[in-house]
Chains A and B, each alone.
Chain A
Amino acid sequence: MSAAMRNPAAKPEAAQGPVVAVRDLRAWYRLRLFGVDREVKAVDGITFEVRKDEIYGLAGESSSGKSTLVKTIAGAMRPPLEIVGGEIQFSFMDGTMGLNRAPADLVERVRWRHLSYVMQGSMSVLNPVRRIGTSFFDFAFRHMGLDNAGFEAAVVAHLARVNLPASVLKAYPHELSGGMRQRVTIALATICRPQFIIADEPTTALDVVVQKDVLAMFRSIQREMASSVLFVTHDMGVHAHLTDRLGIMYAGRLVEEARTPDVFARPRHPYTRHLIHSLPRIGDDRPRIGLEGTPPSLANPPSGCRFHPRCVFATERCRVEVPPMEQVAPDHRVACFEKDRVEATP
């Protein structure tokens, strides 16, 4: 896919290729100050794509580097974090570094129009002392190219899509319940019909009953707009029911990626396999076994395959060599030397 030389304002209708392509991305925290001297390789060589009209799930536990990856893709990096190598390419803008080295006015035009976010804490997007309607105006008015009356009609129509009444526009954020607030942030993120949405743990703070509603609504709005979503959560249950493809991260690297049902039915990486088998299910009385050992330290990660100290399949080779990400089936990539043995083990 050649570098897209498109005008960012023009919306490509039938985009070929991925909406986002991340190639061999490395983003490290470099700290050398006030007695601290260390390098944390939070994202260390990650390659994946988010295609048009799909929800790509990203799963990982603490110190997997998934939140760093999201920050890097969202262009929300702050000083100690920097991109050390690799590329981020969006279909809707030129350049290979994503938003991170783009000029400010281009970032301004692209945000919300082509790329938007839904975060865990809705309060970080919604200004607590402004009415919801004002927030909509601030974020979206200049991107929509409508007059006042037309804009308001568009907002009300869009709110109806996420099952919210027009009256929320008059409300302040604290007057709404957590679920309604998260709907509002989803409505905000989708009103400009962006091609790409980053959703970072958007339902983690919600109760399960509300979570189910919000996820169903999220899927329906994605389907309608045919947008691409990078959906990040540690909750495998959410991934199972929502995402189309799923990438599993461990210690700053992607270890497995496949269509979501395949990840659950035929995991090839020992870590993925363990993750799935350790989840409890109602009505299933088989004992579950927790993973041994400690999560890796990204400041001082294990050599070779970073999972080897906790892996029952590990061999001498895993200790020294880094397993490459290899295609094992259509849309199924795994980074493990022992993937065949893993698959053969019941």
Chain B
Amino acid sequence: MTGALLELDSVSKTFTRGGLFSRTQVEAVIDVSFRLEMAKPEIFSIIGESGSGKSTLARIILALQAPTRGTARFKGRDLAGLRDGADRHAFMAAVQPVFQNPFEAFNPLKRLDRYLYATCRRFAGAKDEAAMQAGADKALRQVGLSLAEVKGRYPHELSGGQLQRVAIARALASGPSLLIADEPVSMVDASLRASIVNLFRKLRDELGLSIIYITHDLATAYSISDRIIIMQKGRVVESGDARTILADPKHPYSKTLKESVLEPLAPGERPLFAR
């Protein structure tokens, strides 16, 4: 297992807005390059505020959008060349998303287990009912749940934290090598957030899964990432080892970002907006 798992080479994405006469070009992503190695699973964070282009980048990596310039390659294959059908099918088995809002990630009118079964059937080659159930149970156990807890349940019967675990289990059921998690904990209660974050770390260590963690939250990014990039208005302004950068950011924007984070008070610390 050598070579790049995911490789972005000067990726840019430009959107054209407006009608016939007043066209404006919006550059959502500008010249972004990075590389994840197959041999070294890691949690790679993309940090940015709204409008930084981080979600567009996620859509490019999930092959839902093609870059305007540059190439995105997964295991050496150019994602722009993916056609519908067998190619895309194989790609989707290997790269799976986890979305921001666990309450929105499942159809509220349908049972949760359907999604797990469908993923096992389509991507993991489960032929019959028993194989699908075994696959679903295995995936759920990897996130600390079991099929017995989820079977026949509807989304509203579970908490945000549990739903996000089910969403991660669903993504794991296809046996992926890369997970794209776009703000996976921002809608989860703070007291439950730590368990999801810890789960990502466990998946990296035990399953050898690489995870791209997309967030605006510097504190959780610090607690789980191996490497980070910080994006501002489509450009990467700083990248490298997570602890080094977040402990001592160099770029002015990264500094502002770090200074703006409101963290719980340490004993004796003075509040920023004191009387």
Contacts and interface: CB of A to CB of B under 8 A. Distances in A.
Asked if A and B form a direct contact in the complex, defined as CB atoms under 8 angstroms apart, the reply is yes
Interface of A: 61-62, 207-209, 211-212, 215-216, 218-219, 223, 234-238, 240-242, 244, 260-261, 264-265, 271, 274-276, 278-283, 285, 287-291, 294-295
Contact of A216 (B159, B192, B246, B273): B273
Nearest to B196: A290
A283 B193 CA distance: 18
Task: Give the interface centre of B50, B189, B193, B198 by most chain A CB atoms within 10 Å.
Answer: B189
A62 B160 contact: yes
B204 to A, nearest CB: 15
A240 B216 contact: no
Contacts of A275: 190-191
B259 to A, nearest CB: 8
Given A207-B216, A279-B219, A234 B189 contact: yes
B275 to A, nearest CB: 6
A9 to B, nearest CB: 29
Given A290-B193, A295-B159, A209 B264 contact: no
Contacts of B263: 237, 240, 279, 281-282
A219 B274 CA distance: 8
A288 B159 CA distance: 20
Contact of B257 (A208, A240, A242, A276): A208
Given A234-B189, A275-B191, A290-B198, A241 B216 contact: no
A208 B253 CA distance: 12
A283 B244 CA distance: 10
B198 A287 contact: yes
B194 A290 contact: yes
Contact of A61 (B190, B260, B261): B190
B194 A261 contact: no
Contacts of A61: 189-191
B273 A208 contact: no
Contact of A291 (B192, B258, B262): B192
Given A241-B262, A290-B192, 6 more contacts: A61-B191, A212-B262, A215-B262, A260-B271, A279-B190, A291-B191
A162 B52 CA distance: 26
A238 B196 CA distance: 22
A300 to B, nearest CB: 12
A236 B192 contact: no
B146 to A, nearest CB: 15
Given A207-B50, A235-B262, A282 B246 contact: yes
A208 B271 contact: no
Contact of A242 (B197, B246, B273): B273
